[in-house]
Amino acid sequence: NALFEAYKKNNDILEDILILIRIYETKNEALPQEIAIATNSQTRISQRDLMSNTEVQIKLEKSFSNLGYFYERKRFQHEEQKPNSRIDALKLGQAIVAFDLREPEKARTDSDKIFSSRYQEVFSKDHNVSYLLNIFLIIQLIDQRREEARKARKKGTGNDIDSFWSYGQFHILYLVKLLSEKNDISITDNKNRERLLNDAVEIMRSFILSKKTSSFYTLFRSAKTKEELYERALHKGQLPLPLEITQSG
């Protein structure tokens, strides 16, 4: 990668160089990945990049492409594409941890484990790509709201309470999961996603107001926060109609 980047800047720079290489011949399809991980010691490669060529990641890229999206197995892989059509592998992994595995606090604090010790758990071969896309579309909505809140605060028209967006985005996603299941509401419909998100934000704001003495940094790293949000979602009234009442996946 480093040589390729250097070549793109100046293709004359590689005219007179020597490169030491080691070649392995094997029919074992899993062996190249194992070798890459085992020999990752000199020029350190991120765990995400090491896992980018696994069968699951390549399959996700192809499947998302069929749906009109650009899945980035590696960082900035499709930076020439429109932002709302790009799906970052790490961001998707964090969304899965928060939404599917119901661990919003670990989506942020343990993100380094997504491509290491928790890789097979997070990126299951059994995942339905359309389901993953719907989760990611919710994250996109959350990111849009977060940016709107940031701009409003910058202009002096926002509310300080809305700074929770910067720290609690994965807890908002977790609340959407709880509300969709409680009310048996599909997340495949954009109007449903919007309404679920609005209700999740209402719960979050109420929760934040009750925790004025806590810093957001500490609050959203505590497992107790998830438990309290769960209780609030559990006792939240039925969402107003009209909504498409179908399976939550």
> Would the pLDDT of 248 be above 60?
no
Predicted confidence band of residue 34 (pLDDT cuts 50, 70, 90): low
Do 216 and 205 form a contact (C-beta atoms < 8 A)?
A: no
Q: 75 near 91, Cβ under 8 Å?
A: no
| Confidence check: pLDDT of 135 > 70 | yes
Residues 223, 231, 214, CA angle at the centre, nearest 5°? 50
Residue 163 has a pLDDT of 84
Residue of 56 and 21 predicted with greater confidence: 56
Residues linked to residue 217 through DSSP beta bridges, in sequence order: none
User: What pLDDT does residue 22 have?
Assistant: 73
Structural domain contains residue 53:
yes
Query: Would you say residue 37 lies in a domain?
Result: yes
Is there a domain that residue 30 lies in? yes
Structural domain contains residue 249: no
For 59, the domain range is: 1-235
**H or E segment to which residue 86 belongs:** strand 86-88
CA distances from 218 to 85, 91, 176, 213 (A): 33, 21, 22, 11
Task: Identify whether 248 is part of a domain.
Answer: no
What is the number of structural domains in the chain?
A: 1
Q: State mean pLDDT over 144-150.
A: 92
pTM of the complete model: 0.78
242 lies in some domain:
no
Q: Where are the alpha helices (DSSP H) in 89-246?
A: 89-95, 104-109, 119-122, 129-155, 165-182, 190-209, 216-219, 223-234
Q: Is 39 inside any structural domain? A: yes
pLDDT over 90 (residue 3): no
CA 81 vs CA 69, 77, 141, 149, 224: distances in Å: 9, 9, 19, 25, 39
Quote the pLDDT of residue 158. 74
Residue 160's pLDDT band (boundaries 50, 70, 90)? confident
